[in-house]
Structures are given as structure tokens and as C-alpha cells.
Amino acid sequence: MNHQRRLLLLGSAGAAAAASIGAPVVAATAKAGAQIDVHIELHAVPDQVSVRPGTATRVWRYRGKLLRGDTTALESSAGGYLGPTIRVRRGQRVRIDLVNGLPESTIIHWHGLHVPDDMDGHPRFAIGPGARYVYEFTVDNRAGSYWYHPHPHGRTGKQVYAGLAGLFLVSDDEEAALDLPSGAQDLALVIQDRNLDADNQFVYLDGNTGAAPQRRGMMGEGMMGGGMMGGRMMGRGMGSMMAGMMGVLGDQMLVNGSLASPRHVERRAHRLRLFNASNTRTLKLAWRDQTPLTVIGSDGGLLAAPIQRDYVMLAPAERVELWVDFSHWPPGSGLVLRSLAFEGGMDMGGMMGGGSSLPDGAAFDVLPFRVGGGTERNESPPARLSTITTAEPRMAVNYARPKVFEMTMGMMVWGINGESFDMLGASELETVKLGTHEIWEFRNEGRGSMMGMVMPHSMHVHGLQFRIIGRSVSRRFADEYGSVKAGFVDEGWKDTVLVMPGERVRVLLRFSDFTGLFLYHCHMLEHEDTGLMRNYRVEA
Ligand SMILES: [Cu+2]
């Protein structure tokens, strides 16, 4: 496929032009006549939902329609604003039509999936209001907990905050043979922090999100700098500008798109799939009673075997799967999933935080559970879960010279190696050969930052799953690092990795099947939107 030609046909300008004449934009790698197993239409639309008692919250959300396939392939979310959960099996051919019912352009990214570049939701494919983008791909991922969300350049943070996100769960034969907890015992929990005003509307940077026009009077247009003092609502001006770059934190925890209410669980084994879909906040998850966590999976599916952790770190876009046997607790007991305090989070002495009173790294309750009655079963997870090939750094073509990608800050703009986002550009360093392995090192040492300030980043690579092969931290940050390091789950396949202040993380990547232009970026969405995102190009 001639790359330049495809860009001409399918770039944003082309997409907009196609929309204006009503023609759907069909991704170039769609195969005419291929057998489709699942066909879904997703409409991105303004809506109103009950997020907490009182006035309904204006949101943007995905609404789905199943046009072909098993009825299990699409499940509407119960309450809240999340999009429908898409459930597919590895090997299925999927067609998904995105219909943009929003007043601005958008595009969907299938987070964690291995798909061709024009199916991946790169911002160059964003479509305007009223337009349709047709995705078609074969699900080639391991069983696991993936998700989908918008990816238009500069507006991903705002659109996700407004409510656009949904789950994409993949199953396969290897997983099915394990007979893991299913049905009501397979709980997906999407954790997001938000700020809500007194009228239950989301507050994002300089105003409310959602379909309604911003009510500037109420949002304190004149509150210039009010947010600097840690007020709930950021006015326009310096505080908003800084939060727009550093990140937006909320003080209200939402689970699956509504106020976290107690989950009633039976006294038996459960599979808990935890998603951190927050814009910027990192979680340090643990049971409040200090019962250790049994981890069975991460971003790219099941681990080789269950592992124990006292807590797990979960940066924005990371996932972790837990095995929990609730029969360990007496009937009627309550337990609480909590985020523990940690050092090294985004903190600028109360100046930051998008108006939240809850700093990054502060402790808070995420979700209470109520344990019901029932028989004691004492179930254990299977001792072997999956086949995970050993990561072999020597397979990398640059084994002797890992590529270094350093998170940098310029004049109010983020970057990688000093370069911010360039829609169609990729440097020589960012060019890789199809069929090869490479080692990349993400460095977070605060180069170019103001006042030596360094904050965590959540690095995500599109189009593949990678392996984490090494971490090191500078002495200056050793104490802060000590409060998080026991919570990493680096054993399995990953698409997103937390890189703490002062840290260097080495990953092993394989570029297979698809050439083209893919993204790698920080998944703290305000960082991404303000430049901490670049392309890499896979060449034949
Ligand atoms: Cu970041």
C-alpha cells in the first residue's frame, strides 16, 4: 500500500471531505467480501446519565447496536456513562462502524489491540461531526481486558473525561480451558476520578464538559487564578493552563461510570478486572484489611502463574486482573478496595490538580464490597494460567544500543527527546523494521522541567504488546520509589508502563504483521494532548 497515497485519501482532511458528501470512511485495509463474525455500530453521542443522586450529568458516551454476531458480543453498561462492553473471541473478524454524533471530530483507538495502522484510531483519521469511520480487523490478541476510547489530537483528555470509553474483552481457547470465574463472578471495574460541581456536572479545566454549552457565568470566568489556590473550579488563566499541561485530578471516584456504590458478592471465587481509566491519576490498589492480592493478569492477558502482591500500582490505562475468593471473609463482612498513599505523584504544592482537593498519591477508598452468605468453597486459582514466552533481550536488533526515549518539557509543552507531536512525522530513531525486535528505554529524569520538577508518566505503545525487561531509578528518587516499587506487575505482556520520577524502564518490543505509522505516548491524557506523544513508523 502506497503510504502517501493512503494518507491523502484517509487523512483528516480527506475524512472531513468524505463526511461532507455523506460517504463513510472505510479503512484501506478492510477486505471486501471477508466473512464478518461480529458487526457493531457505535454512536458517539451527547447524553445525560445519573452519575450520583440529584441532577443528571451531561456526558458524551458510546451507544452500541449489534448488527451481526452472538448477542453476547455487545452488552450495554448498567447505569453510568460507559460505552457497551464488546466481547469477542480471538480469531473473529470484527467490523465496527463509528458514527460521530458529537459536535467535534473524534476517532476510536482500540487500546492494546494488534491491528493495522488505519484501524488503530490514529488522530490523522479523526472524522468530523456526522461522519462514519468503518473499522474491520481480525482479533489477534490473547484473551484479556482491553478497552476503547477516543484519540483525536489535543482533545483526547476532554473526550474521555466527558465519558467516552468502553471495554473490549477478548477470550480464547487457552483461557476457556481454565474455567475461570465467569458470569456474575467476572467483574470488570473501571476506575475514574472526576470533579463534579454542585449541579452534578463534570468540571474539566476551564469549564464543564458535555454537550451543553459551557455555562461560563457559573464556572467563574472571572476566577482567574482561583484554581491556583486549590479551589474546586479552575478559572481560565494560569491555573487552568498549568493543569491543562500537568494533568487533571478529580476528588470523586467513579466505578463503571457512576458513584462507587457497594458491590454485593457471593462467598466464592471471583475474577476482578481492574481498569484505571482516569485521565492522570495513578492508583496504588490494596485491600484495606491488608489481605494480599492474588494477581492473575495484566494489560495483555493472563500471567504464566498467579503472583502475590501487597498492593498493585495501576497508572492511567493499565489493567490488572485479580483472583479473589470472598469466602475468606465471614458472611456479612464489608471490605474495601483502597488506593494507598505513595510518594512521587504529581504534586506542585497544591497548585496543580485541576481543582481537585485530593492530590496524586493521597490515600482514598475506591470501592466497598459486601460479602453475602453462602457456602464456604475455598477455591484457589489454577497453578498454571498461561504460556508466556520468556522475554529474550538478545533477540533485539539493537541489543547493544537500546534506543532512548526521554520525556522532556519545554516552554509549556511536553515532548519526547525534545520533540512534541507531529501528525505525520517519525524520526530515524522512531523508524523500525517489520519483523524485528527492539529494546527501548523510557527515561523520566525531568529534562527541561521547571524547578527540577519530575512527575510520573504512563507510557503506552500502540499496535502491540511488549515486555518489561528492566527498571532502574536514580538515587535522588530512591525514597519515593520505595513507596511504589513492590506494586509493579511486570511479569506478563504489557501495552502501558508506569515510569516513575527518576526512573528508566527498558522494554522489548516486536514489530510484526503491519507496516505504517503508529503512536507511542504518555497516557496521562493532558500530557498526551500537550505534546507527550510521537509516531513510530514500521517499514517493510
Ligand atoms: Cu505523562
Interval between CA 468 and ligand 1 midpoint (Å): 18
Give the 3-state secondary structure of residue 207: strand
User: How far apart are alpha carbons 89 and 174 in whole angstroms?
Assistant: 11
Q: What is the pLDDT of residues 464-518, one digit of tens each?
A: 999 999 999 999 999 999 999 999 999 999 999 999 999 999 999 999 999 999 9
Give the 3-state secondary structure of residue 248: strand
DSSP conformation letters of 259-282: E--PEEE-SSEEEEEEEE--SS--
Q: What is the pLDDT of residues 316-375, one digit of tens each?
A: 999 999 999 999 999 999 999 999 999 988 765 444 444 567 999 999 999 999 999 877
Q: What is the pLDDT of residues 372-415, one digit of tens each?
A: 987 767 789 999 999 999 999 999 999 999 999 999 998 778 99
Interval between CA 8 and ligand 1 midpoint (Å): 31
Interval between CA 20 and ligand 1 midpoint (Å): 36
Confidence check: pLDDT of 449 > 90: no
Interval between CA 354 and ligand 1 midpoint (Å): 15
What pLDDT, on the 0 to 100 scale, is given for residue 357? 77
Interval between CA 380 and ligand 1 midpoint (Å): 37
Interval between CA 539 and ligand 1 midpoint (Å): 27
Question: What does the pLDDT average to over 7-19?
Answer: 43
Write b or e for each residue in 280-319: b if 16 or more Cβ atoms lie within 10 A of its Cβ, otherwise e: bbbbbbbbeeeeebbbbbbbbbbbeebbebebbbbbbbbb
C-beta of residue 467 within 8 angstroms of C-beta of residue 394? no
C-beta of residue 313 within 8 angstroms of C-beta of residue 484? yes
Interval between CA 316 and ligand 1 midpoint (Å): 9
Interval between CA 458 and ligand 1 midpoint (Å): 6
Interval between CA 529 and ligand 1 midpoint (Å): 10
pLDDT band at 243 (very low <50, low <70, confident <90, very high): confident
User: How far apart are alpha carbons 523 and 147 in whole angstroms?
Assistant: 13
Interval between CA 530 and ligand 1 midpoint (Å): 10
Interval between CA 248 and ligand 1 midpoint (Å): 12
Interval between CA 175 and ligand 1 midpoint (Å): 33
User: How far apart are alpha carbons 211 and 506 in whole angstroms?
Assistant: 41
Q: What is the pLDDT of residues 275-325, one digit of tens each?
A: 999 999 999 999 999 999 999 999 999 999 999 999 999 999 999 999 999
- Element holding 176 (H helix, E strand): helix 173-176
Interval between CA 24 and ligand 1 midpoint (Å): 34
Interval between CA 443 and ligand 1 midpoint (Å): 12
21: CB partners within 8 A, 6+ apart: none
Interval between CA 322 and ligand 1 midpoint (Å): 26
Interval between CA 385 and ligand 1 midpoint (Å): 32
Interval between CA 318 and ligand 1 midpoint (Å): 13
Interval between CA 476 and ligand 1 midpoint (Å): 20
Interval between CA 522 and ligand 1 midpoint (Å): 4
Interval between CA 375 and ligand 1 midpoint (Å): 46
**pTM as predicted:** 0.90
